[in-house]
Amino acid sequence: MSESGTKTPALEVQGLGKSYGPLKALDEVSLAVAGGEFVGLLGPNGAGKTTLFQILSGLFAADTGSVNVLGHDIRRSATAALAGIGVVFQQPTLDLDLSVRANLRFSAYLHGMSRARRRERIEAELERLGLAERAGAPARTLSGGNRRRVELARALVHEPSVLLMDEATVGLDPASRRQLLDYVLELRRERPVGVLWATHLVDEVERADRVVILHRGRILEAGPPAEIVARAGVPGIGEAFLEMTGKPAGSE
């Protein structure tokens, strides 16, 4: 099943397939994310969400299909495509011995930003995320929620067109989880960044512009939450998810 927004997509995935031996992790996955759009990728653990994100971020190559970021094919123009993407992975990736600012500075350097531009963008993101007072502190001294904020600031420092959030709230307490989600929802209203938010928690996609339900490597349903609920004839998106996958939303 293919789903795309009505706007020109910042991210467009067509017919993506990936297998590990006999296991088909992704099976003809197609989706699109427009600038300023929040798309929730909802699926139980093992659905293929992380494999999809590994391909979108250039870590793995797909067996079949294509990925385009602002019209740049990730196979033919990897540098241009990946320059338009910011990623927060499920597993923490900060250098805990570096300061908050140094973590951001290193990422900005890898993106080829000038020294002046690096300084401007780093300070802007630190201020926006409420991290300015902790900028000189080693990352290991931060709480889990603030470490995630640093990873988000790092993902945004080069002003990407697409933000990939791969189960980014795993391990956070409920308040930190809500704050991170609220921030990203507000972010896409302020900037023309398209967000693909992968999760197995139904409450994290209830305010999405569109939801894509992924199960066993295949897209089962896609569309605005209200439309998915109406088509399923159930009270809410959680019940629709359960009916399609046989798993309660949020189950391990």
Tell me where in the chain the CATH 3.40.50.300 domain(s) lie. 2-84+160-245
Relative to beta strand 38-42, strand 194-199 is parallel
The whole-angstrom separation of Cα 19 and Cα 25 is 5
In 3D space, the residue among 72, 28, 36 whose CA is nearest the CA of residue 52 turns out to be: 28
- Give me 33's structure tokens: 């994310």
d(CA 248, CA 252): 9
Give the pLDDT confidence score for residue 92 in this predicted structure.
87
- Burial of 195: CB neighbours in 10 Å, binned 0-12, 13-18, 19+: buried
CATH-assigned architecture of domain 2-84+160-245:
3-Layer(aba) Sandwich (3.40)
Q: pLDDT value at position 247?
A: 64
Residue 242: left (phi > 0), alpha (psi -120 to 50), or beta?
A: alpha
Q: What is the pLDDT along the chain (252 residues), one digit of tens a residue?
A: 334 444 568 999 999 999 999 999 999 999 999 999 999 999 998 999 999 999 999 999 999 999 999 999 999 999 999 999 999 998 889 999 999 999 999 999 999 999 999 999 999 999 999 999 999 999 999 999 999 999 999 999 999 999 999 999 988 999 999 999 999 999 988 888 999 999 999 999 999 999 999 999 999 999 999 999 999 999 999 999 999 988 665 544
Backbone angles phi, psi at 188, to 5 degrees: -70, -15
pLDDT of res. 4: 42
- The SS3 call for residue 222 is strand
The residues, ordered by sequence, that sit 6+ positions from 59 with a Cβ below 8 Å of its Cβ are none
Can you say whether residue 196 is alpha, beta or left, with left for phi > 0 and alpha for psi between -120 and 50 degrees? beta
Write out the DSSP string of 100-163: HHHHHHHHHHHTT--HHHHHHHHHHHHHHTT-GGGTTSBGGGS-HHHHHHHHHHHHHTT--SEE
Compute how many other C-beta atoms are within 10 angstroms of the C-beta atom of residue 93: 13
Token duo for residue 147: 């470490």
Q: Where are the beta strands (DSSP E) in the chain?
A: 2-3, 9-20, 23-34, 38-42, 64-69, 72-73, 85-88, 162-166, 194-199, 210-215, 218-223
